[in-house]
Chain A
Amino acid sequence: MDDLMKDRIEQLVDYIMKKCLWQFHSRAWDRKDQNEGVLTKTMQLLCAEPVELETPADRCFWVDAVCLAEAYKKRYAWLAAMNKEEIKLLMQGLHERMDHLTITGSLNLELTDRHY
């Protein structure tokens, strides 16, 4: 991954960490679901691809994704110059980084509790 891509991913991470709450559910399995649900739908919105809205859970991920995609488009003008493949690569990198910060690299000792 080149430095430009890394820098852009950090900008996207910074926005999520400052403005969002969905990434901080209380257990590791929840955080995995949340990251997957919201970031996949955000990627689909940014790439103008269809978004599945079958279940209430889908709709809940989707509303967070809509707000995130809007904020990204508004704040980061460089997104408009990227094609779909580049956006997918960027969002994959973002997803990996978020999983690292909130799950695999997290220092939160409660993430692995078996119960809520």
Chain B
Amino acid sequence: MPYHEFECSKCIPERKKHAVIKGPGEDLTSALPLGYLNTIPGSISERGCAYCGAKHVIGTPMKDVIHLSHGPIGCTYDTWQTKRYISDNDNFQIKNTFATDMKEKHVIFGAEKLLKQTIIEAFKAFPKIKRMSIYQTCASALIGDDINAIAEEVMEEMPEVDIFVCNSPGFGGPSQSGGHHKINIAWINQKVGTIEPEIISPYVINYVGEYNIQGDQHVMMDFFNRMGIQVLSTFTGNGSYDSLRGMHRAHLNVLECARSAEYICNELKKRYGIPRLDIDAFGFGTLAEALRKIGMFFGIEDRAQAIIDEETARWKPELDWYKERLRGKKVCLWPGGSKLWHWAHVIHDEFGVDVVSVYTKFGHQGDMEKGISRCEEGALAIDDPNELEGLEAMDMLKPDIIFTGKRPGEVAKKVRVPYLNAHAYHNGPWKGWEGWVRFARDIYNGIYSPIHQLALLDISKDDIPTDKGFMTQRMLSDKDLSEEITSSTVLRQYTGKYDCLSELSKKTYPGFDPVLADAA
């Protein structure tokens, strides 16, 4: 097994089996790190907890819901507004956060009364919102508060409201991924099938594992609407509570982030016979294939092809402008879970960059199987890295940029490696053809920012040139390019708008096909 041992982790020998370098001729039966295990004591993990995974990642993108944490105020504060999953109801779920604010006295005497009082107060404070998710935390789990019983009591007293209870305390798994699992299963057990949705198209899908980061879901909805597909629910970005109760009536589950949402797809397949289609919607070729597959499933692939042709013609010259300037740049692809495999091959194919390392904070071995398969040989794969390992890897690999979260990202900046926020994005959306060009632009701006010329100088010892100005981005990025490329009249930089979403909300669509009796 080609394990990689970090110098900084020699004092934690168990860490050795959490990193591998895929060498020539090696495959998944010989190169796969351990994964989804409890963090080894002594290793300062970058992971989140199972409560965070349930609430912050999956629960809170639901838009028309009061998201209430039953626990100390810090639990909800630390999961508030740290991810940009916008919604089309004025971002109610991002603007507001709710907690019972448990204190020591509640730990001793119980907090069920407090919980009931808080639920009623919250509904009264926001009378238009009739749905609530309650999230258990370590504190309320340890004292044994019966959240389900309180929720039932309130629903009896207030029949117009509906409450979902997610029992996923922070200690309920090795990482946030434990919370993904728990909320998936809780939702299908408690809520799916409790509403009968209106079916208005012969082509009905659930769009699963999509969290509408900076509007990704809006972009994808535009494509589905153009194809005449009814999206019964989005699990969960910009999704509404009641639409997600009707997931059992879809004809197909289209799954993006399998890491966080494959559980509900698997259960929907087992319980309701709805097949699961895994797609990659990041990238030109991958998104085109995804739409074609969905189109073929329903026999409307011509509609997918029309979108593919139009979008590719519009955006390809801009993608290629960036590709010429990003070719050969070294990337550490260090996201949380699914993006290590969603992006590993397509940023190589379509941006021309080389992925020299992949890591996952909370992914499972299944994510590493996908990620390692999609990387080129020689890539360093790390499971649940700690900060020192990240620093050692950057020193060893000398990446031009890393794609990661904001905690390790800020560490990278300190050693003068630019980073892009892989979880919440820089200037998203990054899905769709235009979104993919926006991602390329962000990478270009990250790598070629003139600030690095200044940042790399140490004013305490370096000579500061005063006889020349800074080099611009174009001077830096074009210096080794051929005349044919630099003066191309075909290739061009991004020409979209700063806000590429507002136009989508004004669009009208031809309408759904009539529902056939046997398709309803």
Q: Does B252 contact A (CB under 8 A)?
A: yes
> Which residues of the partner chain A approach B374 to less than 8 Å between Cβ atoms?
17-18
Q: Check A60 against B252 for contact (C-beta < 8 Å).
A: yes
Q: Does B267 contact A (CB under 8 A)?
A: yes
Q: Check A24 against B369 for contact (C-beta < 8 Å).
A: yes
**Which one of B65-73, B135-143, B272-280, B455-463 contacts A?**
B272-280
Minimal beta-carbon separation of B516 from chain A (angstroms): 15
> Which residues of the partner chain B approach A64 to less than 8 Å between Cβ atoms?
277, 293
Which residue from chain A places its CB closest to the CB of B293 in the assembled complex? A63
> Which residues of the partner chain A approach B36 to less than 8 Å between Cβ atoms?
110
> Which residues of the partner chain A approach B280 to less than 8 Å between Cβ atoms?
21
Number of A-B contacts (CB under 8 A): 89
Q: Check B373 against A26 for contact (C-beta < 8 Å).
A: no
- Separation of A72 and B29 alpha carbons in the complex (Å): 24
> Which residues of the partner chain A approach B410 to less than 8 Å between Cβ atoms?
none
Q: Check A116 against B263 for contact (C-beta < 8 Å).
A: yes
Q: Does B415 contact A (CB under 8 A)?
A: no
Minimal beta-carbon separation of B342 from chain A (angstroms): 9
Q: Check B277 against A60 for contact (C-beta < 8 Å).
A: yes
Q: Does B297 contact A (CB under 8 A)?
A: yes
> Which residues of the partner chain B approach A18 to less than 8 Å between Cβ atoms?
345, 373-374
Q: Check B274 against A56 for contact (C-beta < 8 Å).
A: yes
Given A105-B29, A106-B369, residue A63 in contact with residue B364 (CB < 8 A): no
Minimal beta-carbon separation of A93 from chain B (angstroms): 15
Q: Check B275 against A24 for contact (C-beta < 8 Å).
A: no
Given A24-B369, A116-B263, A116-B267, residue A107 in contact with residue B32 (CB < 8 A): yes
> Which residues of the partner chain A approach B270 to less than 8 Å between Cβ atoms?
116
Q: Does B325 contact A (CB under 8 A)?
A: no
Interface residues on B, range: 35 or more
Q: Which residue among B28, B36, B258, B263 has the maximum number of chain A CB atoms within 10 Å of its CB?
A: B28
> Which residues of the partner chain B approach A21 to less than 8 Å between Cβ atoms?
258, 278-280, 341, 370
> Which residues of the partner chain A approach B369 to less than 8 Å between Cβ atoms?
24, 102, 106, 108
- Separation of A18 and B355 alpha carbons in the complex (Å): 13
Q: Check B262 against A26 for contact (C-beta < 8 Å).
A: yes
Given A26-B366, A110-B36, A110-B364, residue A60 in contact with residue B266 (CB < 8 A): no
Residues of A near any B CB (own CB < 8 A): 17-19, 21-22, 24-27, 30, 56-57, 59-60, 62-64, 66-67, 100-102, 105-110, 116
Given contact pairs A62-B296, A108-B366, a sample of 11 additional A-B residue pairs in the complex whose CB atoms are under 8 Å apart? A17-B28, A22-B278, A56-B273, A59-B297, A60-B276, A107-B28, A108-B369, A110-B364, A110-B365, A116-B262, A116-B270
A-B residue pairs in contact (CB < 8 Å), sample of 21: A21-B280, A22-B278, A24-B366, A25-B276, A56-B251, A56-B275, A59-B275, A60-B276, A60-B277, A62-B296, A63-B277, A100-B29, A101-B28, A102-B28, A105-B28, A106-B32, A107-B28, A110-B364, A110-B365, A116-B263, A116-B270
Residues of B near any A CB (own CB < 8 A): 27-29, 32, 34, 36, 185, 251-252, 258, 262-263, 266-267, 270, 273-280, 289, 292-294, 296-297, 341, 345, 364-366, 369-370, 373-374
